[in-house]
Amino acid sequence: MVGSIGGSGGGAVSLSRYLTAGAAGSRAQSKAPFEADAQTGTKTGATGKPLTPSDQVLIDKLKSRDSDVKAHEGAHRAAAGPYGGAPSYTYQKGPDGANYAIGGEVSIDASPIAKDPNATITKELQIQRAALAPADPSSQDVKVAAEAGAMIAQAQASKAKGETGQAPDQTDTPINALVTRGLAAYGSAAGLIPHPRTSAGVSIHA
């Protein structure tokens, strides 16, 4: 598969925690977050009007989201190695005129290696690590990790059949530990399992 962790089938998949539906903004570069009035020192927004306390609260939330998104996608990218592309972000403009990342994805080549079960197993193990690299993988990340696990099982079966001439009995195959960790982390982030951390929402509004 080639794509961002978010796809399926034989193409690319996307590794992404954050949904961006309804988010306003663009992929433009961030501008200076605010300007200070030369006489009063009051912070002003993109329109030149003073920022209100609620504006500043929203800016702080957007800054936190931006940092969280980039850390999440950076973890995917670092673990993906040669199979991952550069992170792609969706931005939302704050009241200060700056663009903050509120969503992102990393394009991953998760396709099996033809006629080479050993290489496929090695590759899909790395895809699993990339999918579950963040501390709080999304449901899509967990899905990609599970799909990689299925490819590993197929490659192992193909390898064993080639060595013995018979397909192996997989009834007692243990659940992949990486997928188990991902499911637990996602359950915690989604509130399905008690966890001290609170997952961020889809978008931030004042």
The tokens 């006489």 sit on which residue? 39
Backbone angles phi, psi at 7, to 5 degrees: -110, 180
Residue 96 included in any domain:
yes
Q: Is residue 70 part of a domain?
A: yes
Look at residue 39 and tell me if it is in a domain: yes
State how many domains the chain has.
1
> Residue 166's domain spans which residues?
2-189
197 found inside a domain: no
The two three-digit tokens of residue 132, written as one number: 């579950």
The token pair that represents 96 in the structure block: 């200060």
> For 66-86, how does the pLDDT look when each residue is reduced to its tens digit (9 = 90+)?
999 999 999 999 999 999 999
pTM above 0.75, yes or no: no
For the chain, give the number of residues.
Answer: 206
C-beta of residue 70 within 8 angstroms of C-beta of residue 134: no
Q: How far is CA 90 from CA 45, 78, 82, 158, in A?
A: 21, 20, 23, 41
52, part of any domain:
yes
**What are the pLDDT digits (tens) for 131-180?**
999 999 999 999 999 999 999 999 999 999 887 666 555 544 444 566 66
Beta bridge partners of 13: 4, 108
